[in-house]
Copies of this chain bind each other. A is one copy, B any other.
């Protein structure tokens, strides 16, 4: 099949396929007139890349999977290098999720504080004296 069909079947664009080729992730045979041709194995490879991309892997991280498939393995993750990428990605995800939860907690705190400050503005103004009763909600949302 030619590039347009492959792109359509993989749910992407020809531009993307040429880009992958430029990055050395996808290769193509050529017909007499210079057109790229692909077969089912290329589609499989492409789908592997797209799946990983959907998971948030960047292109370079898909390379081991691609090479694994090219080496004749049944799946892109049939090779140790691919498993390593999985593991690294899991660590990254855990770290990122942790950071995001910490940020979420802080932003939640800020919101609560700011809201109670607004609510408490009248109360504070009415009750002078004590040091800022600034909302001790240590509560974690979620």
Q: A86-B114, A100-B100 are in contact. List 9 more A-B contacts (CB 8 A).
A: A55-B103, A55-B106, A56-B103, A74-B134, A75-B135, A77-B111, A83-B114, A96-B100, A97-B97
A sample of 5 inter-chain contacts (CB < 8 A) reads A74-B135, A75-B135, A86-B107, A89-B107, A90-B107
Q: Which residues of B contact A108 (CB under 8 A)?
A: 90
Q: Which residues of B contact A107 (CB under 8 A)?
A: 55, 86, 89-90, 93
Number of interface residues of A (CB under 8 A): 36
Within 8 A of B (CB), among A111-142: 111, 114-115, 117-118, 134-135, 138, 141-142
- A14 close to chain B: CB less than 8 A: no
Q: Which residues of B contact A74 (CB under 8 A)?
A: 134-135
Q: Which residues of B contact A78 (CB under 8 A)?
A: 114, 117-118, 135
Indicate if the CB atoms of B141 and A110 lie closer than 8 Å.
no
Interface of A is mostly: helix
Q: Which residues of B contact A55 (CB under 8 A)?
A: 103, 106-107
A111 and B93 in contact, given A74-B135, A75-B117 (Cβ under 8 angstroms): no
Q: Which residues of B contact A83 (CB under 8 A)?
A: 111, 114-115, 118
The residue from B93, B104, B134 contacting A93, defined by CB atoms under 8 A apart: B104
